[in-house]
Amino acid sequence: MKLNIVPIMAAVGALSTLGTAAHAEGAFYLKNGDRVVFYGDSITEQHLYTNWVEDYVVTRFPNLRVDFVNAGVGGDRVSGGWAGDINVRLKRDLIPFKPTIVTCMLGMNDAAYRPYDQGIFEAYAKGYKNILNMVKASLPDVRWTLIEPSPYDDITQPLNFPGGYNAVLLKYAAYVKKLGASTGSLVSDFNHPMTEMLLRAKAADPALAQKIIPGRVHPSPAGHLIMAESLLNTWNAPALVASATIDATSGKVTAEANTKVTNVSTANGVVSWTQTDKSLPFPLDLKDPVTQLVLKSSNFVQKLDEEPLTVTGLTAEHYTLNIDGTTVGTFTPAQLETGVNLALLPTPMLTQAEAVNQLTTDHSNVHMTMWRSIEMPLAYDQSEALTNAINSLNALDFQLQARRRQAAEPHPHKYTLTPVA
């Protein structure tokens, strides 16, 4: 009999050089009642790293109420852009939401896609300080997370000029880091983790690696995973989804974390139990080859998506794992004793996380429709009808976020490990 053994998607080996933004040990940074505004240019406007961050917060902390607003506009600089100068942008797109936390990523357009120019850089430095001062004047208690500009892909593509454009962005990133230190702001590095991941991806698959940041500026959804990882680790995000260890010989639970295991049975060599996790895994698209390459070339899994199941004392050659009647995979006792990361397998918990992700997309789209299709083009209209329309769509946005929290609530699942004849 030929067994269809599902291989464990092993966590990538320790990648010490791929560290994300350094942060002090402690509790998760976001608190109940926080409202986060993501401010930036088109890379923020993509609603990708921002959506990944939202998905993580809602699935990992389903009882935590945090609201999110994306205020990214393509082409923006520290002075603003086509959607209004910085005074308009901040007064219309940021301050009215009364955020408790603002993330800011600007620089890709500010550096002008050319070799380093001191005058251009000084305008950036002055403009960035101005943004912080303007927001502080209206929101004195806001907590800032400044983001060092994400990379221009000079790794998988040839340089446009000596030294390359990303080297210019790194000078801007160094300024952001210094500004964060001087203002007491958190700082998250989006550049180094991405470029180091690109180097590994290029070594593994040069052609596929070019799809991580197609066009060199705007990362794919898989590329945005690494930026989300950087921001979340700046906020002290825990890696653990849930962990359970069961001894099949005694039928006892020997360890559990962020979960509750009950009703363990070992009758007739079949090990079964009920498990209720307190969190959900990250809604990764495990069928996407670019995502697979990014995961293999980074430490994303170790940093954010660990859901180990360990079962000891098994005696058959192979076991099939079913959860709620769905076959998850077939494993050897050695694999199960080492631990299988369920976050990287097609479980009902992953399906639930994907439903949460869909609601994240829905709420982001509603906000974008309100802001970009109604509020901005109809700014000349001071009618009550316009005000009501904007308020209604904002209310719908926050209702969708509430529904998303409900969709992330934990459920008990029935696990069965059956020996394969």
> How far is residue 352's CA from residue 55's CA, in Å, rounded to a whole number?
11
DSSP track, 208-227: HHTTTSTTTTS--HHHHHHH
Give me the CATH number covering residue 155.
Answer: 3.40.50.1110
Is residue 122 one of the residues assigned to a domain? Answer: yes
How many domains are there within the chain? 1
Is residue 298 one of the residues assigned to a domain? Answer: no
- Strand locations in 214-332 (E): 243-247, 252-257, 259-265, 271-277, 308-312, 319-323, 326-331
Q: Give percent of the chain above pLDDT 70.
A: 94
* Token couple for 278: 């307190």
Query: What 8-state DSSP symbol labels residue 376?
Result: T
Is residue 371 one of the residues assigned to a domain? Answer: no
pLDDT grade, residue 231 (50/70/90)?
very high
Is residue 380 one of the residues assigned to a domain? Answer: no
pLDDT at 4: 33
Is residue 271 one of the residues assigned to a domain? Answer: no
Tell me the pLDDT tens digit for each residue of 130-153: 999 999 999 999 999 999 999 999
362-370: which pairs have CB atoms within 8 A and are 24 or more residues apart? 362/400, 363/68, 363/397, 363/400, 363/401, 363/404, 364/47, 364/50, 364/51, 364/70, 366/393, 366/396, 366/397, 366/400, 367/69, 367/70, 367/393, 367/394, 367/397, 368/47, 368/70, 369/393, 370/394, 370/397
Tell me the pLDDT tens digit for each residue of 8-53: 233 333 333 333 333 344 799 999 999 999 999 999 999 999 999 9
Is residue 287 one of the residues assigned to a domain? Answer: no
Domain housing 205: 16-238
Question: CA-CA distances (angstroms) from residue 155 to 20, 160, 166, 288?
Answer: 19, 12, 9, 22
Tell me the pLDDT tens digit for each residue of 369-404: 999 999 999 999 999 999 999 999 999 999 999 999
> How far is residue 370's CA from residue 291's CA, in Å, rounded to a whole number?
31
Hey, which residues does 309 pair with through a beta bridge? 244, 340
Tell me the pLDDT tens digit for each residue of 258-302: 999 999 999 999 999 999 999 999 999 999 999 999 999 999 999
The b/e string for 33-68 (b: 16+ C-beta within 10 A; e otherwise) is ebbbbbbbbbbbbbbbbbbbbbbbbbbbbbebebbb
pLDDT grade, residue 107 (50/70/90)?
very high
Is residue 253 one of the residues assigned to a domain? Answer: no
